Structure 1
């Protein structure tokens, strides 16, 4: 069964200010730097590149947690660190590689191998990752508590 869904984000920029994104669904607005990410201006505002990488990280997480729940994994927490490599030249700048280091805390030692397998499976279930033509490297960790 195929369904569709649409997402809308509104962006507003005024002269000499940072941009702001919002959505009708949320009351909070997000400040976004209105400068090129490599210009190193006002580093305390999220850039479009930071938001992009956060989108990759959160999409992978939701795919993992949904798959783990469906496969009966009992987990306590999930965290990840994600890095993107950017190639910069006079003609083009592009993200070439993304490295995701997710860590999951599980309850049962007997579920370690099953959990590790889910890390590789869930990439295919991540909407954002499936949309990318970037090399993605995933180095998962499983902790039993």
Structure 2
């Protein structure tokens, strides 16, 4: 398998500050807009800022699940809340920090809890999205 991959995402402007994201390899589109915190922002629609944070969450989940499967750690449930801080630094908005709160419910907590804590940290270190960002990542896993 090649070590280089390409991902194409297109956007088409619809109206005002609203666009529609698509990819030639995906079946769904996503409407996105400037968030309401900015001038002329649109409430209730995914924003680039939400998509940035969702990239952290979805990559972490995919990485954790892959590693857990490799280590044969079985789960009943996985969820993760991530809160990212956007602030003005040197005249530019940047995400300075993202705090992640994964909640992992194991099938066999007595057997797998120690391993799952180790794998949660391993997934944090191996997440390609967060490894590609300047944003500080803080993770507090809850495993039961």
Q: TM-score, normalised by structure 2?
A: 0.90
For 1:21, the equivalent position in structure 2 comes to 21
Matches within 5 A, 1:51-62: 51-62=51-62
Match for residue 65 of structure 1? 65
CA-CA distance at 1:27 after TM superposition: 2.0
Cα distance in 2 for partners of 1:117, 1:84 equals 24
TM-fit CA distance, 1:93: 1.0
How big is each residue's C-alpha offset from its partner over 1:53-106, in whole Å with a ceiling of 9 and x where there is no partner? Answer: 001100011000000110110111100100001112682111110000001110
Q: Counterpart of 1:39 in 2: which secondary structure? A: coil
1 CA distance for matches of 2:96 and 2:17? 30
Task: Write out the 4+ residue segments of structure 1 that deviate beyond 3 Å after TM superposition.
Answer: none
**TM-score (ref. length: structure 1):** 0.90
**Alignment root-mean-square deviation, CA:** 1.8
For each residue in 1:98-126, what CA deviation from the matched residue of structure 2 results, as whole angstroms up to 9, or x when unmatched? 00000111011211011001011112221
Give the total of aligned pairs.
142
What SS does the corresponding residue of 1:103 show, helix, strand or coil? strand
Instruction: Name stretches of at least 5 consecutive residues in structure 2 with no aligned partner.
Output: none
Unmatched 5+ residue regions in structure 1? none
